[in-house]
Amino acid sequence: MFKKLNDLPNWQRNIYILWFGTFMIGVGSGEVLPFLSLFTETLGNFTKAEVNLYSGIAFSSTFLMTAIVSPIWGKLADRVGRKPMLIRAALGMAVVYTLTGFSTSVWVLIGLRFLMGFFNGYVSNANALVAKDTPKIYSGHALGIVVTGYTSGALIGPLLGGFLANIFGYRMPFFITGSILFLLTFLTLIGVHEDKSTLVTKKTTGKQPSALKSAKYPMMVFGLFITSMIVNLVTNSINPILSQYVRQLLEPNESHLSMIAGLIAAAPGMTAIIFAPRFGRLGDRIGSEKLVIGGFLIGIVSMIPMAFVSNVWVLFVLRLFIGLTTAAMNPAIQAILAHETPQEFTSRIFSYNQSFLAMGNVFGPLLGSLVANIFDYRGVFIVSGIMIMINLISFFTFSKPLRVSRSNS
């Protein structure tokens, strides 16, 4: 296998290694979800309200810190290279995951979760490196492949984490993930190759505009950041209420609630894994902006009907279609950002996008809980669908220069 990898062009070998890397980051990110609150409970004598508060802080702190530091890491990546930032992220998270397994108090856990967000950035730099070093005619397809790495890891992570926690206890998954990320650090070090000809040197940095202003259409790029945040926010807004909504749709004495809720929660990831590379290839042919519009439309016609279902399996099918939205939009947005941004600013632009994605992770569950308290569970889907509609209208506005340039070319 390693011989075959060595025979590939550098950009193709990068895709395989970075797919594995983003997969493992997704596994590590997702595997703590089933038991984070239970692990928090073992770190002190807490009331139920305190457990909910502390576990919520521990979960959100990683994304909050990621949103803050991503632009800083992105600026540094444009100067020293994306590969060093990949190694930094993998090694930093390997150490933090390992130390988390030794947590002795809830404040140590929360502090380490903040550190996790501080060292985060493997996925955004993997996307930036693939976008920069892959031939443009293949970039959408390549980004689609890398996207499936994180998506499939996040899908498998909760299942693997729950399995390991049941057998070995809550600490063992942190140790195992830390060990795998140490391996990833080594693989990235020896296997990833980066073309450093487009790095921003100290000599040229002062003469160049900011990363956002360097783009041909700055307002469009900023609009794509907002789109990334809204898509992630809408997706995560459902997470706090999904299991309760599934319970509401099932028979009162249904004994497989956890299994069915888990299946429905995983449904979008299933379709995203299958279709993201295919949509990426399609975007290379017809234009990535058309895929974004298609993703919006699929999201609207899938999200709003969820508020009116009376059968849990209809909900499952609609959740599968929501996965098509993710599969279409995520690689397409990354491809547009790559095409419309000078290569020397790729990492910075991708890190800004990562910050907005992280803000979606932070605020999505809060929005879902708030709307559910005011309008009940079904209101979450309606509000989410309306937000997608508004975002679609705004996309038509800020992407007009891109469509005009496409039609004139």
pLDDT along the chain (409 residues), means of 10: 63 89 87 76 83 80 88 86 93 95 93 93 88 80 82 79 80 90 92 76 55 79 91 82 82 70 80 85 84 93 94 93 88 84 80 87 83 87 94 89 66
- What residues contact residue 279 under an 8 Å CB cut-off, 6+ apart? 144, 291, 327, 328, 331, 332
Task: Give how far the C-alpha of residue 40 lies from the chain's centroid of Cα atoms, to the nearest Å.
Answer: 24
Contact 273, 155 (CB under 8 A): yes
What residue spans define the domains of the chain? 1-193, 208-409
pLDDT, residue 198, reads 60
From CA 379, how far away is CA 397, in angstroms rounded?
Answer: 28
CATH number corresponding to 208-409: 1.20.1250.20
Contact 198, 344 (CB under 8 A): yes
Residues 27-57 pLDDT 10s:
888 777 667 777 888 888 888 778 878 877 8
Nearest residue to 335 (alpha-carbon basis) of 290, 392, 280, 385 = 280
Per CATH, 1-193 and 208-409 having the same topology is answered: yes
Q: Find the length of the chain.
A: 409
Is residue 5 helix, strand or coil? Answer: helix
From CA 31, how far away is CA 26, in angstroms rounded?
Answer: 8
pLDDT, residue 202, reads 54
Side-chain half-sphere exposure of 217, counting CA atoms within 13 A: 19
Average pLDDT, the chain: 84
pTM: 0.77
pLDDT, residue 382, reads 95
pLDDT, residue 336, reads 87
CATH number corresponding to 1-193: 1.20.1250.20
